[in-house]
């Protein structure tokens, strides 16, 4: 069983636990000749790593990626690329209290029920530290995409923190990298800073919505019926820790629209088909239209909070737990680069599948 892998041709397998010596990703199927080095991958890991500002956990994890195989003289060789990140800031004592208790909202109880053994330190395999490995693999996928389809841009940002939504009228792409929340709304960033600061000081946490957009994706990626690109995107996003909902394009709101509003009208433009809107999120019948591919996911509030919570021990006794240790007040912030990485991997994977089966698009328009 390969439950730790995703992707068809660009196949990513992640391994490791949060308090083991290291974790990483084995990427099989990366095309040869892609220029890549550790520094190129590191730039993406630095966006996810903890301790960047006071709104993320103060754990000090440098998250330095090492490339152990599959790259020779600065280029991929077409053989498996082994990416490794050493764990260096493990404070196992922070977790000794939870050895026999199940933390509410965490996978402690289900891993125990299923396997009867678990690495309780920091959540072990269920820890979101695993997402560092995905981001490293996503960096490699970005490098490959840049060679194969240079125009593709993939960007994630936060659209909602708790009940506080951005104002789409103030949407500014250039703002995304300018604030700690990766939000395109500068005013929201200011408001959220005050809100999250209060929440953090009171030891509480909040959820978030993240949107990831892929621009410049060619028409034709994805396949019927079980190979839909939106199926793979949804699975990829849902596999991220703490994600409880995924939408493509209009998503759940499509149910509230009428057909004349929802079906994006098509006209012929100078360079091919143009659409009047993008309720479809860039995907029709599981195949990309050439419009922006738009995915949104909801991240639940951090479960490890300072408020005492009721739980039980392994022997079934009632107890209480206060999760000490260093935790994000809004894990959605650090989920942004993770969502981007998953989008890049899925897009590249489908590009490779498309090249293998079809090559150039066969249906010409105009």
Ligand X SMILES: Cc1cc2nc3c(=O)[nH]c(=O)nc-3n(C[C@H](O)[C@H](O)[C@H](O)COP(=O)(O)O)c2cc1C
By the criterion CB under 6 A, which residues form the site for ligand X? 57, 106-107, 123, 126-128, 131, 240-242, 300, 302-304, 327-328, 331, 334-335, 338
Shortest separation between residue 188's beta carbon and ligand X, angstroms = 20
Q: Which two tokens stand for residue 216?
A: 């410049």
Task: Name the minimum Å distance from CB 243 to ligand X.
Answer: 6
- Taking CA atoms, 57 is separated from 85, 328, 331, in Å, by 18, 4, 9
Q: Which is nearer to ligand X, 94 or 274 (CB)?
A: 94
Query: Cβ 72 to ligand X, closest distance in Å?
Result: 32
Nearer to ligand X, 107 or 141 (CB): 107
Q: Give the integer Cα–Cα distance in Å for 5 and 27.
A: 9
C-alpha closest to that of 187 among 164, 207, 157, 166: 166
Judged by beta carbon, residue 132 or residue 217, the one nearer ligand X is 132
CB 293 within 8 A of CB 213: yes
Smallest separation, CB 325 to ligand X (Å): 8
266 SS3 class: strand
Answer for the pair 10, 29: CB distance below 8 angstroms, yes or no: yes
**In the structure encoding, which two tokens stand for residue 209, read together?**
């919505």
How near is the Cβ of 100 to ligand X at its closest, in Å?
Answer: 18
Query: Over 260-275, what HEC string results?
Result: HHHCCCEEEECCEEEE
> Residue 311 contacts by C-beta under 8 Å, 6 or more apart in sequence?
101, 102, 103, 104, 318, 319, 320, 321
Nearer to ligand X by C-beta: 14 or 304? 304
Report, in Å, the least distance between residue 236 CB and ligand X: 13
Q: Scan for tokens 């009428």, then name that residue.
A: 258
Between 159 and 302, CB nearer to ligand X: 302
Please say which residue, 118 or 142, places its beta carbon nearer to ligand X. 118
């Amino acid at each position: 069983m390969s439950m730790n892998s995703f992707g068809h041709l660009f196949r990513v397998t992640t391994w490791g636990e949060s308090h083991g010596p290291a974790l990483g990703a084995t990427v099989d199927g990366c095309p040869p000749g892609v220029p890549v080095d550790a520094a190129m991958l590191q730039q993406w890991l630095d966006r996810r790593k903890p301790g960047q500002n006071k709104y993320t956990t103060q754990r000090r994890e440098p998250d330095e990626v090492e490339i152990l195989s599959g790259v020779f003289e600065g280029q991929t060789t077409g053989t498996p690329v082994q990416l490794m990140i050493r764990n260096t800031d493990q404070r196992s004592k922070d977790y000794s209290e939870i050895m026999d208790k199940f933390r509410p909202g965490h996978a402690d109880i289900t891993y125990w029920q299923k396997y009867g053994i678990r690495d309780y330190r920091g959540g072990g395999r269920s820890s979101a530290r695993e997402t560092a490995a995905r981001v490293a693999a996503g960096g490699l996928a970005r490098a490959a995409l840049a060679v194969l389809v240079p125009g593709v841009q993939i960007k994630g940002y936060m659209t909602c923190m708790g009940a506080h939504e951005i104002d789409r009228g103030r949407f500014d792409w250039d703002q995304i990298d300018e604030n700690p929340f990766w939000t395109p709304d500068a005013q929201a960033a200011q408001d959220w800073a005050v809100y999250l600061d209060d929440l953090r000081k009171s030891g509480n946490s909040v959820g978030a919505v993240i949107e990831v957009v892929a621009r410049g994706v060619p028409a034709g990626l994805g396949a019927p019926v079980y190979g839909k690109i939106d199926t793979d995107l949804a699975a990829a996003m849902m596999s991220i820790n703490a994600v409880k909902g995924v939408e493509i394009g209009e998503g759940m709101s499509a149910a509230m629209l009428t057909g004349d509003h929802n079906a994006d009208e098509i006209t012929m433009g100078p360079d091919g088909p143009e659409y009047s809107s993008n309720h479809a999120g860039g995907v029709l019948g599981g195949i990309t239209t050439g419009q922006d591919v738009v995915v949104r996911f909801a991240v639940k509030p951090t479960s490890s909070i300072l408020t005492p919570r009721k739980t039980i021990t392994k022997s079934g006794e009632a107890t209480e737990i206060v999760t000490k240790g260093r935790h994000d007040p809004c894990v959605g912030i650090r989920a942004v680069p993770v969502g981007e990485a998953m989008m890049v991997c899925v897009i590249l994977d489908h590009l490779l599948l498309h090249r293998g089966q079809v090559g150039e698009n066969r249906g010409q328009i105009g």
